[in-house]
Structure 1
Amino acid sequence: MIITKFVDFEAGSPQFRIKEHKGEGAKTYSYYSQTDIVNDLITIPFIEEDHKQVTTTGNVVLVEEGDLIFSLISGKCAIAQTYSSGYLLTQNYVKLRIKGGIDKKYLMYLINEDKKIARQFQASMQGSITMKYTVKQLRELDLKNLPSIEIQEKIGDIYTKQLRKQALKERLAKNETLLILEKLKEVNEHE
């Protein structure tokens, strides 16, 4: 079954059409980035960055909590978290709006992890000089043999919990290393 049976697509705002404007009614937006998609995927703001911003009165596509976002740069998909809400979505990202028949977390799992989906992307990129994904590739994805919605929900739930658990373990290991290095520095300075 083709993905368009389950999903509508909304591309982000083309950056070249966003005109900087600081007059009355202008709003300042932070750009959604690759760092944000990684943080949304693991459901915690793990990596921090200074966001590029733009002030404009133009109509722009914004991230809303719960949006399923696909990165045309990395080919990864994530569900936007509260801390990403209100960020400006550029043409490097696409919102996938579920129409029904598929669980959002399960679709994220399929796009990120399924080898059949990966092969479809690779086949459509052969001969391409740039390694950027396209909305056309997304629209043509064939989702074969979907399990029941109950099984989809279980797989999606386990997948998101495992990603979060892995990120927390990595954060713990990093913090332990920083703590030990600080202690070693103190000991070294006292000798």
Structure 2
Amino acid sequence: MIVLHTLVRFIGGSPQFRIRESLDTEAPYYVYYGQSDLMDDLTRVHMTRADSKEVHTRDEVHILSCGDIVFSLITGKAAIVQLAHDGYLYTQNYIKLLPVSTIDAGFLVYLLNENQSIRKQFFISLQGSQVLKYTLQQLKEIRIEKLPLLGRQRQIGELYLQQLHLTALKNRAAELEKIICLAKLAEAGK
């Protein structure tokens, strides 16, 4: 068995309560990375939102870059940051994962989100907790079975991410179809 901390470097997010907002409009401007952003990155389907929280600050903060792997300590889900969220500020509710060259990013996301052994390890470590929030220590201590060859990891990771994308597109199409149908029914009822 391989322990995750031997495959990945972990960088915690900026403590949100310590970020001092600046009234100076010349101060760097950041948008906070949130749970809906993570789900957009996971499915590769982006929704424009007007409710994103933003801040001007001169404080040193942690930001995400396109291609980073981010893990939510709230939901236990991981995603690869897409271009739409490049430069977003991430808080202490998220951990940036920097894998070593022996593990593919997409495969790591697949493992963290779907592997039954890992899910079970998280479940066991959360038992008895009052607050169901994952910790960095739990994440670091995850045990992984022998890794497939890097080429196979890439195939599995890409197939997983493509399937999530396809499912999200189908769900969006079904929702739009429902809206159109309801509009037609409302029109026909007049």
Shorter-chain TM range is over 0.9
CA–CA separation in structure 1 for the residues paired with 2:47 and 2:19: 29
Contact 1:66-1:79 at 8 Å conserved across structures = yes
What's the secondary structure of 2:96's corresponding residue?
A: strand
After TM superposition, list the pairs within 5 Å mapping 1:41-190 onto structure 2: 41-46=42-47, 48-189=49-190
- Whole-angstrom CA distance in 1 between matches of 2:60 and 2:73: 21
SS in 2 for 1:180: helix
Shift in Å, 1:23? 2.4
Q: In structure 1, give the amino acid aligned to 2:186.
A: K
Q: Summarize deviations over 1:19-69 as a string: whole Å, max 9, x none.
A: 011227412211100000000000110474510111111001111100100
Gap runs ≥5 in structure 2: none
C-alpha distance in 2 between matches for 1:47 and 1:158: 26
Report the AA paired with residue 27 of structure 2: A
Identity, in percent, stands at: 43
- Structure 1 CA distance for aligned equivalents of residues 43 and 76 of structure 2: 16
TM-score, normalised via structure 1 length: 0.95
Deviates more, 1:40-49 or 1:51-60: 40-49
* Contact 1:28 1:56 (C-alpha < 8 Å) held by counterparts: yes
Root-mean-square deviation over aligned CA pairs: 1.2
Q: What is the rounded CA distance, in whole Å, between the counterparts of 1:78 and 1:24 in structure 2? A: 32
Counterpart position of 1:13: 14
Are the equivalent residues in 2 in contact too, given 1:39–1:47 (CA < 8 A)? Answer: no
Matching residue's letter, 1:91: Q
What is the total number of aligned residue pairs between the two structures? 189
CA distance in 2, matches of 1:49, 1:152: 37
User: Structure 1 residues 53 and 24, CA, compared in 2 at 3 Å: closer, same or farther?
Assistant: closer
In 1, Cα distance between the equivalents of 2:98 and 2:117? 22
Deviations 1:103-149 (A, max 9, x none): 10000000000000011111111211100000001110111121111
